[in-house]
Structure 1
Amino acid sequence: MNRVILRFLGSFAIVFAIDQLIKWVFLHGFRYYGSFIDLVLVYNKGVAFSMFASLGANLKYIQLGLIALLLGYLLGQKELLRSHTTAFGLILGGGCSNILDRFIHSGVVDYIFWHKWFEFAVFNFADVMINLGVAIILIQSLILRKKR
């Protein structure tokens, strides 16, 4: 179990640190305008596509509670954590980084704006890692199901 915890903490810390470093760069003035993607600073006061922005400051406490519940559940379900260690590290590292933004800034620091062929919501590295973690869990679950 110690290896599982170390691998979880490692992936969590790497995602958290990289995301906060990238956000620091944008908070200190970096901008890029391209033909496919703009890299611009945006504060998202909601969650995906700015949903639930009307919850205001309460949103960060709700999200913090959900993260705590997930972490508590994973600690109780050791086999689930063992099966998807890195994926949960990605999800919780990205989630905690975004929640930190809500406490320090006026919202989540987003900066990637895809606008070629269609305009997509502005997002960040943490969002990508959260989605990657979910995709890994789904793929691993499908592979495990086929093996059974």
Structure 2
Amino acid sequence: MTTKQRLVTALLGALAWIIIDQLTKVLFKQILTPSHVMSLFAGCLLLLPVYNHGAFLSLGAGMSEATRDIIFTYGVLAILMGLAGWLARSSRLGRVDVIAIACILGGGFSNLLDRYVYDGRVFDFLNVGIGQLRTGVFNVADIGITLGVALLLLGSMGRRS
């Protein structure tokens, strides 16, 4: 892929994640009330509104506000800018790598937007599992980030073989 193709593909992919994440957040903020839990698919999917001070699955929520700010705002921004720089400079990135980076950038920037708008918090509303075996509460941006990281890891494993 040319630099222009990489950048356009990543920009469009990241924008798609941001739009979908923000639209789902708007929708579920209107549907769900603070103490309300909506159960779907025999309880395998729960919808519950949570404003999370931490990262994915509330990791780091107990840190001081200053530490959370440094790590989850400025640290994440530095990582996202590093990924964008890698994307712009590396001609060796394949299509899957570019899509993976787009997923991470879109999810990361969407959650940063939440942190800016909601006083350092991210709106989460999804919880999946069976019985007592459940995930923490997360959002669509977290899915994008996780998918992107998984694609980068799988791609790097494939290149080593």
The residue correspondences of 1:120-131 to structure 2 (distance < 5 A) are 120-131=135-146
**1:110 matched residue in structure 2:** 124
Q: Percent identity?
A: 32
Confirm whether residue 119 of structure 1 aligns to residue 134 of structure 2.
yes
Confirm whether residue 39 of structure 1 aligns to residue 35 of structure 2.
no
Confirm whether residue 77 of structure 1 aligns to residue 79 of structure 2.
no
CA offsets 1:48-74 (integer angstroms, 9 cap, x no match)? 232223124333222222212222233
Structure 1 unaligned segments of length 5 or more: list them.
none
Q: Pick which of 92-101 and 34-43 moved more.
A: 34-43
TM-score normalized by the length of structure 2: 0.79
Q: Contact (CA 8 Å) 1:81, 1:88: kept in 2 or not?
A: no
Q: Secondary structure at the match of 1:121?
A: coil
Q: Contact (CA 8 Å) 2:96, 2:151: kept in 1 or not?
A: no
Letter in 2 for 1:13: L
More helix by share: 1
Count of matched residue positions in the alignment of Structure 1 and Structure 2:
146
Letter in 1 for 2:102: G
Distance verdict in 2 for CA 1:74–1:113, change over 3 Å: same
Q: Secondary structure at the match of 1:112?
A: strand
**1:132 matched residue in structure 2:** 147
CA offsets 1:3-30 (integer angstroms, 9 cap, x no match)? 2221111111111110110011122233
Structure 2 unaligned segments of length 5 or more: list them.
none
Q: Contact (CA 8 Å) 1:37, 1:113: kept in 2 or not?
A: yes
Confirm whether residue 50 of structure 1 aligns to residue 65 of structure 2.
no
The residue correspondences of 1:13-32 to structure 2 (distance < 5 A) are 13-30=15-32, 32=38
Letter in 2 for 1:126: A
Give, in whole Å, the separation in 2 of the partners of 1:83 and 1:48.
23
TM-score normalized by the length of structure 1: 0.85
Give, in whole Å, the separation in 2 of the partners of 1:17 and 1:126.
10
Q: Secondary structure at the match of 1:78?
A: coil
